[in-house]
Structure 1
Amino acid sequence: MPPMNLVPVNGTIQNISAFGNNCCQQQVTIRNSDGIQNFIIHPGTYVIEEIRLHPGMNVTAFYDANLPIPLIFPPQYQTVFIGRRNPAETIYAGNFDESLLSLDGTLQLNLGRSTNIVTSNGQPYNCSPGGQLLIVYYTTTTRSVPPQTTPRKVIVIC
């Protein structure tokens, strides 16, 4: 199976509603400078830290650009990950190699003593996170190519 091509969308939740007749799915409407986009939250969606989503919350939602997307307006995506966004922080999700370089070559991680590395259920992760799908929280990067960062938090999706 090829790695997911995760695309982030930052914005503010405008509305949350039921999606169709399925009580296990919700549609979250997000507004940002690009307009309105709808995200389907389904049982396979990972809601980071299991937060309760609500209108007015700043979030980052990730969808897999390799999956088919219906040609409707506003766009409607199947959500892979969604989590609260701190405006001073960036959230990146993607696959990393053993040297902690993202497979798309856009981010190099330098883990520090203060980097909190956990599994998706919040438990400490005591192995190297290289070669895994990671959700990374960071504030600044170098101007090198690829940009390097020492993240605040890394969530390993096992």
Structure 2
Amino acid sequence: MINFKAFNGTVTTIDDFSIGQNNEAGCYKLIAVENGNGTLVNFVVAPTTYFVDHIMVAVGDKITGFYDANALVPLIYPPQFRALVIAKDTPYQNVKVSFFNSQLESSDGALRLNISSHTKILLENGQAFTGSIANRNLIVTYGATTRSIPAQTTPNKVIVLC
């Protein structure tokens, strides 16, 4: 199971990243992110990395990168994680990437979803998802939450990671 973790900060550089000899130049990127407290992280962005709302990222943007904390990483500084999902920070929009159980509660117990008829439920390719979203890895975009534990929200959009 994927253990989603997030790192938030400002993009400081974007460079091409070579992973082999198979003429893949330009297909992979290395995005350096600094969190404002001096902590740096490099995200390896593959063609399969999902960008929330299909945004274009530029130097100076504030982003959140989500990665698998259980994945193997090289022992280098700054740490280098394979980005699974990247979201550009947007006012009034929060993004959560997690496994949601049968009660639609995130794996860290911090967020519970209340799905409404206005919630868009999509696949990564933008097509409608018609199955159950319970017990799946989800990208959730939402606004306000309750102050309860776990916080509850009615999401604007749910993207199912198949």
Mark yes or no: TM-score above 0.5: yes
- Spell out the pairing of 1:110-149 with structure 2 (5 A cutoff): 110-149=114-153
In structure 2, what is the Cα distance between the partners aligned to 1:84 and 1:116? Answer: 19
Offset, 1:141 = 1.9
What TM-score comes out, normalization by structure 1 length? 0.87
Q: Partner of 1:28 in structure 2? A: 31
Counterpart Cα distance in 2 of 1:51 and 1:89: 14
- Partners of 1:49 and 1:121 within 8 A in 2: no
Question: Is the 1:136–1:155 contact (alpha carbons within 8 Å) kept by the matching residues of 2?
Answer: yes
SS state at 1:122 partner = coil
Q: Tell me whether 1:7 sits opposite 2:5 in the alignment.
A: yes
Q: 1:10 to 1:87 in 2, by over 3 A?
A: farther
Shift in Å, 1:103: 2.7
Find the counterpart in structure 2 of residue 17 from structure 1.
Answer: 15
Deviation at 1:17, TM superposition (A): 0.3
Partner of 2:91: 87
User: 1: CA distance between counterparts of 2:8 and 2:120?
Assistant: 23
Q: Provide the aligned C-alpha RMSD in A.
A: 1.8
What TM-score do the two structures reach when normalised by structure 2? 0.85
Q: Which letter maps to 1:120?
A: E
Return the offset for 1:43: 3.1
Deviation of 1:104 (Å): 2.8
The answer as to whether partners of 1:135 and 1:156 remain within 8 angstroms in 2 is yes
> For structure 1, which runs of at least 5 residues remain unmatched after alignment?
none
**How many pairs are equivalent?**
156
User: 2-side partners of 1:33 and 1:113: how far apart?
Assistant: 39
What pairs with 1:143-158 in structure 2 (closer than 5 Å)? 143-158=147-162
Secondary structure of the 1:15 match is: strand
Which residues of 2 match residues 39-78 of structure 1 at below 5 A? 39-78=43-82
Superposed displacement of residue 93, structure 1:
0.4
Measure the CA separation in 1 of the matches of 2:59 and 2:134: 35
Q: Give the share of equivalent positions with the same residue, in percent.
A: 39
